[in-house]
Amino acid sequence: MSELFASDINSGNIKTVGLATGSTPLDFYKYVREAQPDCKAITTVNLDEYVGLAADHDQSYSYFMHEHLFNDVAFAKHFLPDGLAKDSAAECARYDEVLAENPIDWQLLGIGGNGHIGFNEPGASFEGTTQRVQLTEETLAANARFFDSIEEVPTEAYSMGIGSILNSKKIVLLAFGEEKAAAIKAMIEGPMTNEVPATALQNHPNVTVFLDEAAASLLT
């Protein structure tokens, strides 16, 4: 995984990388911090941000990215949705413009236990652009581990849509742990359905998936 990133970055063909937060990419970001590939010409675009959290809130995704990557590796520019935007529609339109101006060459994804990608929860359209979304109970419960209590977990987020994710030239999805096994099985072996958002990736021509044994354990 790390070698793949290094060789893709060194190829010089990547101008924009799409980035994810959460537990899954932590080792990957550690590797990038240690390896220090030359990212000075690369722009980053994140998948999502919680509604209602300021960029400097310690649970915001902006804060996460600075702590795990941006403070240690120099990039050209960073884009994340603004969790405090006053006008949601305008914020979604702004982010879609960011994506139009910075087409993603290399998109990193994790996956939710319910098959979400970004914060596109079950039922999300495969053509979706940036949206303000309601997080499911399952996602709130999963993310509560980062907060003092589940009540503190923001219930909404801005998320890049599935359509925008599918526009990325290359997608690299990581999944670790048995709590991801059912979603991975559905993503790879199940029928394409909005009920498992990650099945949208079945139609993408360039997806690489990295799994540990537990996440792969239900595959036939």
186 binds ligand F6R (CB under 6 A): no
Q: Distance between CA atoms of 145 and 22, rounded to whole angstroms? A: 11
122 binds ligand F6R (CB under 6 A): no
Give the number of other CB atoms < 10 A from CB of residue 103.
14
117 binds ligand F6R (CB under 6 A): yes
24 binds ligand F6R (CB under 6 A): yes
CB-based contacts of 85, cutoff 8 Å, min separation 6 = 91, 94, 158
Q: Distance between CA atoms of 66 and 144, rounded to whole angstroms? A: 21
18 binds ligand F6R (CB under 6 A): no
Q: How far is the CB of 211 from ligand F6R (least distance, A)?
A: 13
Q: Which residue has the tokens 């914020």?
A: 91
**Given the residues 46, 102, 114, 120, the one annotated as active site:** 114
Helix (H) or strand (E) holding 72, with range, is none
**Given the residues 48, 49, 91, 105, the one annotated as active site:** 48
Q: Which residue has the tokens 């911090």?
A: 33
Q: What are phi and psi of 134, to 5 degrees?
A: -90, 130
Q: How far is the CB of 118 from ligand F6R (least distance, A)?
A: 5
107 binds ligand F6R (CB under 6 A): no
22 binds ligand F6R (CB under 6 A): yes
In the residue annotation, 116 being an active-site residue is answered as: yes
Q: How far is the CB of 188 from ligand F6R (least distance, A)?
A: 17
Q: Which of 18, 83, 110, 115 forms a contact with ligand F6R (CB under 6 A)? A: 110
154 binds ligand F6R (CB under 6 A): no
In the residue annotation, 167 being an active-site residue is answered as: no
Burial class (CB in 10 A: 0-12, 13-18, 19+), 198: buried
197 binds ligand F6R (CB under 6 A): no
Q: Distance between CA atoms of 126 and 197, rounded to whole angstroms? A: 7
In the residue annotation, 78 being an active-site residue is answered as: no
**Of the ranges 28-36, 84-92, 114-122, 162-170, which one interacts with ligand F6R (CB under 6 A)?**
114-122
**Of the ranges 68-76, 104-112, 181-189, 190-198, which one interacts with ligand F6R (CB under 6 A)?**
104-112
Q: Distance between CA atoms of 45 and 99, rounded to whole angstroms? A: 8
Give the number of other CB atoms < 10 A from CB of residue 217.
15
Q: Which residues bind ligand F6R (CB under 6 A)?
A: 20-24, 47-48, 110-112, 116-119
Catalytic residues: 48, 114, 116, 121
